[in-house]
Amino acid sequence: MRDMPDADLVARIAKGDRAAMQALYARHATAVYRFLVRLLRDASRAEDLVSDVFFDVWQQAGRYEGRASVTTWLLSIARFKALSALRRRSHAEWEPEVAEAVPDEADTPETVLQKAGKAEALRRCIAALSAEHRGVVDLVYYHELSVEEVAQVLAIPAGTVKTRLFHARKRLSELLLAAGIDRGWP
C-alpha cells in the first residue's frame, strides 16, 4: 500500500479496510499534527485532535469526492476541528492562580536574537503575524499547498489567499527588519 495513491486509500477506507487507514495515517499524521500545533499552539490538544481528524476520515471516507487532494481534505477537517476547539477554549475561564502563573513571553527583537539563531527569529516573526496571515504562510510554505488548495482548506476565494499572502510577506519583512534581519540572510 506504500505506492498506492491517497485517493485509492480513501476509497478502500470507505469499504472498511483497516490497512488502508493505517497507511493513510502513517503518511499524513505528522503533517496534520504540525498544522494543528500551529493553529492551536498547544501540542497536547493537537495530538488529541489528530485522532479526531482520522476518526472522521474513517467515518466519512465514503463522502470524499476527489474535488481536492486528500491532503487538502485532511487539512480542511483539521482546520474545522481546531476552530471548534478554539471556540470552546475561549469560553472557559482561567483560574486567577493559573492566569498569574503564565509567564510573559514577549521579547524585544534584541532578546530574540540573543536567545536563538536566525531560524528561531523567523519562527517568532511568523508567530507575530495575524492568525489569517500565519495560516496562509503555514499552508503555502510549510505544507506546500497551491493557492487554490489553500483556498479550499480555508474556504475562502483564491484572490483572498493571494491578498493575505501578499500582506503576510510584507508584514513578515517588516518584522524581520525590526528583528535585525535583512533580506540577505542565508
CA distance 32 to 63: 20
Q: Which domain holds residue 26?
A: 1-97
pLDDT tens digits, 146-184: 999 999 999 999 999 999 999 999 998 888 888 777 655
CA distance 84 to 93: 17
Query: At which residue does the C-alpha cell 497536547 appear?
Result: 44
Buried b (16+ CB within 10 A) or exposed e, 26-38: ebbbebbbebbbb
**What CATH number is given to the structural domain containing 30?**
1.10.1740.10
Most confidently modeled of 67-71, 92-96, 97-101, 181-185?
Answer: 67-71
Q: Do 56 and 25 form a contact (C-beta atoms < 8 A)? A: no
Residue 176 one-letter amino acid? L
* Statement: residue 128 has pLDDT above 50: yes
> DSSP labels for 37-83?
HHHHS-HHHHHHHHHHHHHHHHHHGGG--SSS-HHHHHHHHHHHHHH
Q: Are 128 and 57 contained in the same domain?
A: no
Q: Are 140 and 70 contained in the same domain?
A: no
Q: Are 90 and 137 contained in the same domain?
A: no
* Statement: residue 110 has pLDDT above 70: no
The pLDDT of residue 29: 95
Number of domains the chain contains: 2
The pLDDT of residue 162: 95
DSSP assignment letter at 94:
P
The pLDDT of residue 23: 95
Q: Are 5 and 57 contained in the same domain?
A: yes
Q: Are 133 and 75 contained in the same domain?
A: no
pLDDT band at 141 (very low <50, low <70, confident <90, very high): confident
CA distance 85 to 104: 24
* Angstrom distances, CA of residue 12 to CA of 16, 50, 166: 7, 20, 40
CA distance 42 to 101: 17
Alpha carbons within 13 A on the beta-carbon side of 174: 8
Q: Are 91 and 110 contained in the same domain?
A: no
* Angstrom distances, CA of residue 70 to CA of 7, 33, 73, 113, 114: 6, 15, 5, 39, 41
**What CATH number is given to the structural domain containing 125?**
1.10.10.10
- Of 18-32, 46-60, 98-112, 122-136, give the lowest mean pLDDT range: 98-112
The pLDDT of residue 26: 95
Q: What percent of the chain has pLDDT over 90?
A: 53
The pLDDT of residue 66: 86
Q: Are 136 and 89 contained in the same domain?
A: no
Q: In whole numbers, what is the pLDDT of the chain averaged over residues?
A: 83
Q: Are 14 and 58 contained in the same domain?
A: yes
Last residue of a domain, one of 64, 97, 130: 97
